[in-house]
Amino acid sequence: MNAKIRPGHICKTCGWPVIYTLCNGGMGRTQPYINHDWWVYCANKTCEKHPGEAHDPNNVPEFVHVQDQTPVSHRGRAYGL
Ligand SMILES: [Zn+2]
């Protein structure tokens, strides 16, 4: 499995980082990941977006907010995973 966090990509619902993962290995044989190359989900297990959704690498998912890369401190502990 190949998973990564993209700097500045956070969940609009809770502010946690989101994880982009390649659906290979066991994931590629498991619903609902079959027939999708990429999946994206919120790292926060209590968030409604944790189950995630199929990801088109050409688009930013609707529930993801992309911050500019200027360091911000007001995100506080939620962003300091
Ligand atoms: Zn979230």
Mean pLDDT by 10 residues, the chain (81 residues): 87 96 89 92 97 91 86 56 48
* pLDDT confidence of residue 8: 92
Model pLDDT, residue 72: 56
Ligand 1: distance of its center to the CA of 42 in Å?
Answer: 5
**18 located within any domain:** yes
Give me the pLDDT at residue 74, please. 56
What is the Cα Rg of the chain in Å?
Answer: 13
The reported pTM is: 0.77
State how many domains the chain has: 1
> What range does the domain containing 47 cover?
2-66
Residue 21 lies in a domain: yes
Q: Which residues contact 56 (CB under 8 A, 6 or more apart)?
A: 38
Q: What is the pLDDT of residue 45?
A: 97
Instruction: Calculate how far, in angstroms, residue 29's C-alpha sits from the geometric centre of ligand 1.
Output: 25
Question: Which pLDDT belongs to residue 1?
Answer: 59
What separation in Å is there between the alpha carbon of 45 and the centre of ligand 1? 8
